[in-house]
Structure 1
Amino acid sequence: MTAYGIAHLRQAGPLHDEVYEYLERIQATMDPFGGVFLVHGSPVDVLEGVWPGALVLIEFPSMDAARQWYRSPAYQEILPLRADHLVGDLILVEGCGRDHDSAQFAADLRALAASS
């Protein structure tokens, strides 16, 4: 199942030289694990709530690949270049698949709640 790395960079600037170096090096850390950027700092159209900062969305072929990338010596080496200068959160999450049916998901949750 496809997995995603999602970063919410709440404070995106001003950029430090080390952040530029991080940006220059991150793709090489993702390549061995099949990681690709889907969103990388594009403008966010906030429809509800507040979203300060920027969004980064990286796709991986699996949760295992995403975890291996994050824990890899190559990524861990460059991680401080970003983390020491940008405030944000990073999560890994498994996708639900293109055949996901939210109505069936609701039915399954109702059945689970009723059996509790």
Structure 2
Amino acid sequence: MLTDTPSVTQLSHVISQSAAPAFLLGALGAFIAILISRLNRIVDRTAINGIPDDDTLRSRLGGSATSDQRAAMMNRAIFWAVIASISVTLLVIVALLRHSFRYSTNAASLSSS
């Protein structure tokens, strides 16, 4: 059982400090969903581009080299968005752990040591 429970003001402070990263995580999740749907469209278009070169009606769809470059850029964008999401999650965890262990980084505690 907890002997030293935090006060309501302490809990509200921690929750308010965690709210912004939570909204950022939601935005990153929506961004990743958009990137994945965009990648699906690129892959579908690449499948359409498997048409022979002598088909003049469908030759306007573009080359597969462009689709490969777009798919590679989408993969990189998804990778970095996931890395950003993991980083934000780790920052929230560190902030909550710091509060639970009551670790302070203010100037007064640094100058006294």
For normalisation by structure 1, the TM-score amounts to 0.27
Q: Find the structure with the greater CA-based Rg.
A: 2
Higher strand share: 1
Point out the structure with the larger helix share.
2
